[in-house]
Amino acid sequence: MTTLSTWCFDRLDGAMRAEQELAALSQLGRLSVEDACLVFWPRTAQAPQMRAAGNVVQGRPLGSSFWGLLHGLTFAAPLLGCADSGPRCLAEVGVDTELIERLRANLRRGSSALLMVTGRPVPPELVARLGGGRSAGPALQRQLSPRHEENLHRVFGS
C-alpha cells in the first residue's frame, strides 16, 4: 500500500544525511521509493526551500507539482491568510491536517525535512535508521487508500 512518510530534523543537514541513508537502502533493495523531496530552511532565508531527492526514486515519480503544492499550502498559505485551505485541497490525495501542521510546527530556520512516497510502509527499523537519532520528533507515515493513490497519480503523476 502506498505510503507518504515525513521526517523533520532539527538540523539543516539532517535531511541530506537521511537522503544518503535512503540512497543506500534503495541501492540494497531494502526500500522502493516512488518519489521524495527535501525541504531546507537556512537560518538566513525568509522561507523554506525545496528540492527533489537525488538518486533514490525507483517508481512512478509524482514530479515537482505535488511537492510544490504541498510546500506552498504548508508555508505560503498561512502568509496569505488561507491556512485552512491546505488540508482540504490535498485531502483527496491522502494528505491530512496532521501532516501539514507537523511540518509547520517542526520546520523552522536551521531545520530540514525529508518527505517521500513509497510503494509500501517503511519498516520500523528503517524508520529509525532514516531518522538517525537527529529527528525533531517521530516520523509520520500515512498509508494511502487505493482512491487516494489513484488520485495522486492521476493528478500529479508524470
The residues, any chain, with a CB within 8 Å of residue 88's CB and separated by 6 or more, are none
Global pTM? 0.87
Place of cell 519498516: 123
Query: Tens-digit pLDDT profile for the chain (158 aa)?
Result: 889 999 999 999 999 988 988 888 888 888 888 889 999 999 999 989 999 887 776 667 787 888 888 888 888 777 776 666 656 778 888 888 888 888 888 889 999 999 999 888 888 877 887 776 566 667 888 899 999 999 998 988 76
| Residues β-bridged to residue 114 | 7, 38
